[in-house]
Amino acid sequence: MPGPQDAERFDAHMSDSDALMWNIEKDPLLRSTIVTVLFFDQTPDWETLVGRIERGSWLIPRMRQRVATPMMRMGPPHWSGDANFDLMYHLRRVSACESSDDAVLDIARNAAMAGFDRSRPLWEYTLVEGLEGGRAAFVMKVHHSMTDGVGGMKLLLMLFDFERTAPDPGPLDQVEAIPTFGATDLVLKSLSHRRRRIVGMARRTATDLWNGTSAIARHPRETLTHAVEVSGSIARFLAPATVPHSPIMRARTLSRGLGVFDVSLADLKRAGKEAGGSLNDAFVAAVIGGLARYHEFHGEPVETLRMVMPINLRDAGATMGGNHFTPARFLVPMRIKDPADRIVELGRIARVVRNEPAVALTDALAGVLNQLPTTVTTAVFGAMLKGADFVTSNVPGAPFPIYAGGAKLEHMYAFGPLSGAAVNVTLLSNCGTCCIGVNLDSVAIPDHDFFMDCLEQGFADVLALA
């Protein structure tokens, strides 16, 4: 287990992207709640589990911090220590009403539909005991503003063990106090942050003007062409899309349905490679195959659907907390029957989207949107997202076994937020298995079981390439 010197660095204030994600929750349909369900081969020892998470909450300061917003939004929201932090409010223990895994998904479904108490730290963990064969599950609910999928996996590894009979790491020494900010502190910090930001922007602007002027003098045509490309990319990034392309998955409600299934990680990688694509290309191709089958069954075949796919911007120097991705929206073809051809085309489209100039400007664009009144910002972002049909997300998990309180993790399913879409399909790998978690709007997709069958068949078609 890590010691205090291994505690990760966390920023005291939200980035512009995280602040935007926090502010737009004025519309409940745009909530950014992540729910992850972990299934263990046996019931973890409760006292050991409590001790690990208590220890982890000091190594991961974000677990003991709540969001504090400066008055009149003078600056970005800050992460402030919760002076009345109560571990047992966030860490709970229940017995399943049934011994099946469906009972766990029901608990996770309710967690996904409920918002957070915004005056407390933004996480809730629930141990579910009493599953068939003595197994247990762990339902983890975290707000997306705390971290993204990649950062979340790092947090998980700090909370759990790497062997079943791990020694007790003992109490932490030299624990640093987590600062708590009052109203005056927030104002002073906001003014300081704004001053640093203005100075930084002025320096960058001066540098950019000098570089831009020099570039225009040396290469006027290329510079103008690049400026036009950037402007067009920003316009596409911010373009409203209020109407879904799907003629049947159109409702947008707070009702949720969850589903899971597994596929082989090696086989899915091999299928992508056989077609000349990547694991992610094969994953997205399988999802699209399932969605095409679902629409055809309902007599509503479609040419295209609008997909949202997070593009990872995290580098080696990124902090564990916060988000380092941008949500890219783009149309994907639905009429390509051959899975190999579909993989190739989706790989081509994804490369084009990743190279969009606006991707590198995500935080800057978020900073501009955050200067607008919250109602306006929410309306703008809602107009961008509520026309999305589905979301796909691919998160690399642990390639080696991990344990909690002596129990081995067998399966791990992530249910990403819909954020205005009808369904989110998330792949989370775990020890050679792709654990597929499906979070859907149960009003937009009322025939839940049939939809899951369509998705599984879409994966089967792609896996046949392997």
Q: Catalytic amino acids?
A: 144
Cα–Cα distance, 123 to 119 (Å, whole number) = 12
Q: How many CA atoms lie within 13 A of 95 on its CB side?
A: 3
Distance of CA 357 to the CA centre of its chain: 22
Cα–Cα distance, 323 to 76 (Å, whole number) = 15
Name 247's Cβ contacts closer than 8 Å, sequence gap at least 6: 295, 300, 302
SS (H, E, C) 25-71: HHCHHHCCEEEEEEEECCCCCHHHHHHHHHHHHHHCHHHHEEEECCH
Cα–Cα distance, 28 to 256 (Å, whole number) = 13
Q: How many CA atoms lie within 13 A of 262 on its CB side?
A: 13
Cα–Cα distance, 187 to 192 (Å, whole number) = 9
Residue that has been written with the tokens 């049934």 in this structure: 98
Cα–Cα distance, 385 to 363 (Å, whole number) = 17
Cα–Cα distance, 133 to 131 (Å, whole number) = 6
Three-class secondary structure of residue 95 per DSSP: strand
Would you tell me how many other CB atoms lie within 10 Å of the CB of residue 373?
Answer: 10
Task: Give yes or no for a contact between 332 and 290, defined as CB atoms under 8 angstroms apart.
Answer: no
